[in-house]
């Protein structure tokens, strides 16, 4: 718990002026709330005394007016303190927004191992459901704590007045509080465990939904709707059970706390009435005691509720910190060597494997690419072609060996400056929700109009766009579902070209292009980017004509770089590979 308190303290300290304002308004709001019953007691006792001893009050209305003016002052203070709930609601959203941005940033800095460990739906849950509403982190950081603080200050101010009026009756009023704390202490571990299981179940549901909607075409193609519905039903049933366990435990605790408060209220009525009959306290004192006790019922429930909601919020904090603390293979360094241009790329004895449980994908491979060189990566499936591309962009880190850009180790390079020089088109193009223009400008928001037209022409999208009703303002569905596979690939190519790259990385992009469009693409690239370096993966043999050299990866993880003619003359494995692909 101390770690959670320190976590909250750090968030509060970074917003200390807002927190200080909330603290002041909490005290003002509590003071105003307890002021009304006390002033009401004054009026009741004054009227009672005037009726009993009118001679002692030669100007009774003057006393009444004085108390009425106090009511007016308290009323003005109440108007000011009425902004307190609005400020609390604002801070709830403020904390939620900042935490979501902070931990989303942590996610973007993680490597592939992180995204293999956390499912998409689980991450979505942690960045949405774990932060929003009662009793999650955003609510708890402000409203959860300050509601309890408001309750505590209300009880504290009330007790000061009540002890001054009658200490025995006051002790009877607060007798239930220790019992409430004992009950919470006995159930706190169970609360934490139940809520943790519930949040895990919610993550599982969101992951299941994400997989269902992302893979809906596969599900329908295999006629597995009913089967997948059973999977979803099982996950949903698990969530239902965990939610019910949380609801049941909260409901039982709520009832216990509520009835303990009612018992205290009844005790005060009986004992306070007895004191009035004996004449130990006045009617006004009895009324103010009953009023304060009525006001204290919900604050008394709020105090243990702070610990209940705190346990639930601590679960969410732990889940967020799990994102932050997940180890990455490497940290993306910035502020070191900045790349102004890409003159050369070199791999020196680079080895890589995705995990300890998998075989080595690359084993001590070495090659060098000079500026303007067009290199084609060839090899059978699983030989590590896409892995080389990931290593070059800094997304992956080699197990051993080194990668050098301009003879500088990539570990010493500011990766943002390197990636700014790279245009990357993945094998499965991912488009974002928005227009075609938005997706192309994603690579370069300040793209000039004339350059934009050249890019459309180079990517063979110009004629395609003219056929759309809204031209390049045509809105794409999620992941570009509203356009064909070839159109998605060409939009992705245009997006990469918009960066004005010095290195183009194409991961088997020509699979969605026919021979004519592929030829036009390379001719236009050569025209608008004559000195661009290209590293491309392709299974189409026609791409050979556009390559200056070949990097061939054999199934035994050996690598050789040479021209197509030399490899055909000297490398038996390459000869076999080409013969197999010619038959295909």
What is the per-residue pLDDT for 584?
Answer: 45
Would the pTM of this model clear 0.75, i.e. be above it? no
Domain boundaries defined on the chain: 2-325
Query: What is the residue-wise DSSP string for 153-206?
Result: HHHHHHHHHHHHH-HHHHHHHHTHHHHHHHHHHHHHHHHHHHHHHHHHHHHHHH
Alpha-carbon distance values, 188 to 241, 291, 418 (Å): 19, 32, 51
DSSP state of 479: G
According to the model, what pLDDT value does residue 252 have? 75
Spatial distance between the Cα atoms of 63 and 45, rounded to a whole number of angstroms: 12
| Per-block mean pLDDT, blocks of 10 residues, the chain (584 long) | 85 90 85 73 68 67 69 70 82 90 86 80 84 81 86 82 78 73 71 76 76 66 69 78 79 72 74 78 75 72 74 86 81 69 89 75 87 87 84 84 88 84 83 82 78 84 81 76 78 86 83 73 83 84 81 82 85 82 56
Sole residue written with tokens 């216990």:
256
pLDDT of residue 64: 66
Residue 459: φ, ψ to 5°: -85, 5
pLDDT confidence of residue 269? 77
β 344-352/362-370 pair status = antiparallel
> What is residue 568's three-state secondary structure?
helix
CATH of domain 2-325: 1.20.1560.10
Cβ-in-10-Å burial (0-12, 13-18, 19+) of 255 comes to exposed
Omega within 30 of 0 (cis) for the link into 428: no
Radius of gyration of the chain (CA): 35
Q: What pLDDT is stored for residue 55 in this prediction? A: 65
Tell me which residue has tokens 């030829």: 519
Geometric angle at alpha carbon 478, from 474 and 484, rounded to 5°: 60
* pLDDT score, position 272: 77
Strand partners, 379: 553
């Amino acid at each position: 718990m101390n770690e959670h308190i320190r976590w909250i303290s750090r968030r509060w300290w970074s917003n200390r002026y807002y927190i200080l304002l909330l603290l002041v308004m909490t005290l003002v709001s509590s003071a105003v709330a307890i002021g009304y019953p006390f002033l009401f007691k004054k009026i009741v006792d004054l009227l009672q005394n005037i009726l009993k001893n009118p001679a002692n009050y030669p100007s009774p209305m003057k006393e009444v007016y004085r108390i009425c003016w106090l009511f007016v002052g308290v009323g003005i203070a109440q108007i000011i303190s009425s902004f307190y709930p609005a400020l609390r609601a604002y801070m709830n959203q403020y904390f939620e927004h900042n935490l979501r941005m902070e931990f989303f940033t942590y996610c973007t800095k993680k490597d592939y191992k992180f995204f293999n460990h956390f499912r998409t739906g689980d991450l979505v849950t942690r960045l949405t459901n774990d932060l929003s509403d009662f009793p999650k982190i955003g609510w708890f950081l402000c409203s959860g704590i300050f509601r309890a603080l408001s309750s505590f200050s209300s009880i504290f101010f009330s007790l000061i007045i009540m002890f001054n009026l009658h200490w025995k009756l006051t002790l009877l009023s607060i007798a239930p509080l220790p019992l409430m704390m004992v009950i919470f202490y006995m159930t706190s571990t169970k609360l934490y465990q139940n809520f943790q299981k519930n949040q895990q179940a919610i993550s599982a549901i969101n992951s299941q939904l994400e997989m269902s909607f992302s893979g809906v075409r596969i599900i329908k193609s295999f006629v597995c709707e009913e089967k997948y519905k059973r999977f979803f039903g099982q996950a949903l049933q698990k969530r239902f059970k965990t939610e019910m366990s949380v609801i049941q435990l909260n409901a039982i605790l709520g009832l216990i706390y509520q009835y303990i408060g009612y018992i205290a209220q009844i005790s005060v009525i009986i004992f306070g009435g007895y004191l009035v009959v004996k004449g130990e306290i006045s009617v006004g004192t009895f009324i103010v005691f009953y009023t304060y006790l009525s006001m204290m019922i919900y604050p008394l429930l709020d105090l243990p509720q702070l610990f209940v909601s705190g346990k639930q919020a601590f679960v969410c904090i732990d889940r967020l910190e799990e994102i932050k603390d997940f180890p990455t293979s490497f940290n993306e360094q910035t502020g070191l060597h900045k790349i102004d241009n890409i003159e050369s790329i070199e791999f020196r004895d680079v080895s890589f494997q995705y995990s300890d449980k998998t075989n080595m994908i690359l084993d001590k491979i070495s090659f060098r690419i000079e500026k303007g060189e067009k290199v084609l990566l060839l090899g059978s499936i699983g030989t590590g072609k896409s892995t080389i591309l990931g290593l070059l962009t800094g997304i992956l880190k080699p197990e051993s060996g080194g990668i050098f850009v301009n003879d500088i180790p990539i570990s010493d390079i500011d990766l943002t400056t390197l990636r700014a020089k790279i245009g990357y088109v993945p094998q499965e193009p991912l488009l974002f929700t928005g227009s075609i223009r938005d997706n192309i400008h994603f690579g370069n928001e300040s793209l000039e109009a004339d350059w934009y037209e050249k890019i459309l022409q180079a990517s063979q999208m110009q004629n395609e766009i003219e056929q759309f009703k809204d031209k390049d303002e045509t809105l794409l569905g999620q992941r570009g579902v509203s356009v064909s596979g070839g159109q998605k690939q060409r939009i992705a190519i245009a997006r990469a070209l918009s960066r004005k790259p010095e290195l183009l990385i194409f991961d088997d992009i020509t699979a969605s292009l026919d021979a004519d469009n592929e030829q036009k693409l390379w001719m236009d690239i050569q025209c608008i980017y004559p000195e661009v370096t290209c590293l491309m993966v392709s299974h189409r043999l026609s791409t050979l004509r556009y390559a200056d050299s070949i990097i061939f990866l054999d199934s035994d993880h050996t690598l050789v770089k040479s021209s197509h003619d030399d490899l055909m003359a000297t490398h038996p494995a390459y000869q076999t590979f080409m013969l197999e692909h010619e038959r295909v």
